[in-house]
Amino acid sequence: MATTDVPKHIISEIPTYITVYSDGTVDRPRQPPTVPPNPNHPNSPSKDIIISQNPNISARIYLPKNPTTKLPILVFFHGGGFFFESAFSKVHHEHFNIFIPLANSIVVSVEYRLAPEHPLPACYNDCWNSLQWVASNSAKNPVNPEPWLINHGDFNRVFIGGASAGGNIVHNIAMRAGSEALPNDVKLLGAILQHPLFYSSYPVGLENVKLKDFYSYLWNFVYPSAPGGIDNPMVNPVGIGAPSLDGLGCDRMIVCVAGKDKLRERGVWYYELIKKSGWKGKLELFEEEDEDHVYHIFHPESESGQKLIKHLASFLHEYSLSNSSNFRPFLLPPLCSSSQDVEGDSALRRIRLLLKG
């Protein structure tokens, strides 16, 4: 008996950004282009590395040109709603080419697995494994050694950071670091949350109540089995069953928000929750009132982008500012416009609509 091919149909989607079909294929029509690393960049050499082959975790690592001292290590988790973007995208690569010489730090930008092919909590596990791998390079004979970390990294100054969904990941990794040890007794010194993605079944502050439907849908899309739904502790830090926030496993934290960002109220809410939790670390809130979601990622060369990057540089080097030889940022010349820049900006504006929710 002849069989009839059944046309594939849409199972779920976030229109124009991601579509999941009945045959298991996934289409991301607006996924930004990726670019190769540049080991010969004049200010921020970069290369791609494999952290794990099972599961498949990789990263792009950046190093300031000709480092003369041990440098802070920032393990960074990109944004994109847990289902979009890449550590290898043009957006993030160009951001870090500007960030690295100003921050004078090593950055390990993690390429974690994306939902829905790999539903949460896969990305949390990937990012934790990445932090463990970074810490493992402090051993005398690491199993999967990375020379840039071994030769130039200061394992007394290990930080995690992330933007949007990546900021959410930072929180969850910092909580895990409070209850699980890293290899070789490496400690997490600080955490940077840039416009973090948190939500709950109830509004906070001056938040638009209409946002709940979108973020509830998004959370179910990336973590359909989440106990408690949108009040799961991984997206609602004080949801039912959430561990106390005083268990954060770092000594310092900065929460960054933007006045025009739809997630601004959640960032301030999170800051206030930490402040009242009894956590003994040093906590800071940074706000740029006239900017929108992850402006510094899209436009790191802008005045406000440079302001935030320099502030984060001070945060990364606060431990050693008494020794000025440890912190040598330099200013980059203004970037010139080009047809390529205009084309890139157009793509970034489209991506921005997603990240703004």
Which residues participate in catalysis according to the annotation?
A: 164, 261
Length of the chain: 357
In angstroms, the first-to-last Cα distance of the chain is 49
60 forms beta bridges with: 48, 109
Q: How far apart are CA 311 and CA 323, in angstroms?
A: 18
Three-state secondary-structure class, residue 133: helix
Nearest residue to 315 (alpha-carbon basis) of 194, 190, 195: 190
Measured over the CA atoms of residue 81, residue 87, residue 92 and residue 95, the dihedral's sign is positive
State the residue for tokens 């494994």: 129
Does residue 142 have a cis bond before it (omega within 30 degrees)?
Answer: no
* Burial class of 90 by CB neighbour count within 10 A (0 to 12, 13 to 18, 19+): middle
Q: How far apart are CA 101 and CA 348, in angstroms?
A: 23
State the residue for tokens 């069989």: 3
**Mode of pairing for the β-strands spanning 252-258 and 282-288:** parallel
